Amino acid sequence: NAGVTQTPKFRVLKTGQSMTLLCAQDMNHEYMYWYRQDPGMGLRLIHYSVGEGTTAKGEVPDGYNVSRLKKQNFLLGLESAAPSQTSVYFCASSYLGQGASQPQHFGDGTRLSIL
Amino acid sequence: AQSVSQHNHHVILSEAASLELGCNYSYGGTVNLFWYVQYPGQHLQLLLKYFSGDPLVKGIKGFEAEFIKSKFSFNLRKPSVQWSDTAEYFCAVNGDTGRRALTFGSGTRLQVQP
């Protein structure tokens, strides 16, 4: 009963390097999200997806790209990492259901440091 | 646009004290409201949610929250806190839009002293 799984859990990058964060969910959820969590700012939405093959921008999309090639996976890419992207990244998913009352299920997070 | 304000950034209580954490939101339409808890080093977990019906919502671990529409508030309460309640608490709102993404408050760090 894995739920939402994020890999890796920790990563240190140098400025300019690229990397991909992987999110996988086994609950057959339609919706998936990427958030970043910074001290004193709560969680902010980076990108989201309402279904396989679809993605859309959230509040803070600059410097990130995403892909949802399979329903269960949602990838977050940093093409050229910057120190401002040092953060904890959370993936979440939710069921389509009826209306917007469906809760989101979160992964354990990826702690990313950009030097 | 929707927004959430949590006015208490850091709360320190002794065990058995009562807790109330404030949450105010801004959104003109129908809202769904959530409280999430994040224990140290862990992911966010749902405490409770409100989407319709009885404005007093009961969640896990003895928490409850009251939706007051006229005040745009959704305050979290617990009559008697325990050391294990030490965590960060986030209020979140989801307006009835197609995006369904949550807008979070900045969080309240609760420290319960034994």
Which residues make beta-bridge pairs with B76? Answer: B21, B65
Phi, psi of B13 (to 5 degrees): -130, 160
Which residues of chain A are within 8 Å of residue B108 when distances are taken between CB atoms?
A: none
pLDDT in tens, B25-83: 988 777 889 999 999 888 899 999 998 889 999 999 999 999 999 999 999 999 999 99
Query: CB-based contact (8 Å) between B82 and chain A?
Result: no
Give CA–CA dist A109/A35, Å, rounded: 9
Query: CB-based contact (8 Å) between B95 and chain A?
Result: yes
Residue B86 has pLDDT above 80, yes or no: yes
Q: Which pLDDT score is estimated for B96?
A: 57
- 8 Å CB contact of B104 and A104: no
Query: CB-based contact (8 Å) between A99 and chain B?
Result: yes
pLDDT in tens, A92-109: 999 877 666 678 899 999
- The tokens describing A64, both together, are 């990130």
pLDDT in tens, A30-39: 999 999 999 8
Q: Which residue out of A104, A105, A110, A111 would a mutagenesis test of the B interface target, given it has the greatest number of B Cβ atoms within 10 Å? A: A104
Phi, psi of A109 (to 5 degrees): 95, 155
Q: Which residue out of A43, A50, A90, A95 would a mutagenesis test of the B interface target, given it has the greatest number of B Cβ atoms within 10 Å? A: A43
- 8 Å CB contact of B32 and A101: yes
Q: Which of B42, B97, B104 is facing A43, going by the closest CB pair?
A: B104
Give CA–CA dist B89/B19, Å, rounded: 12
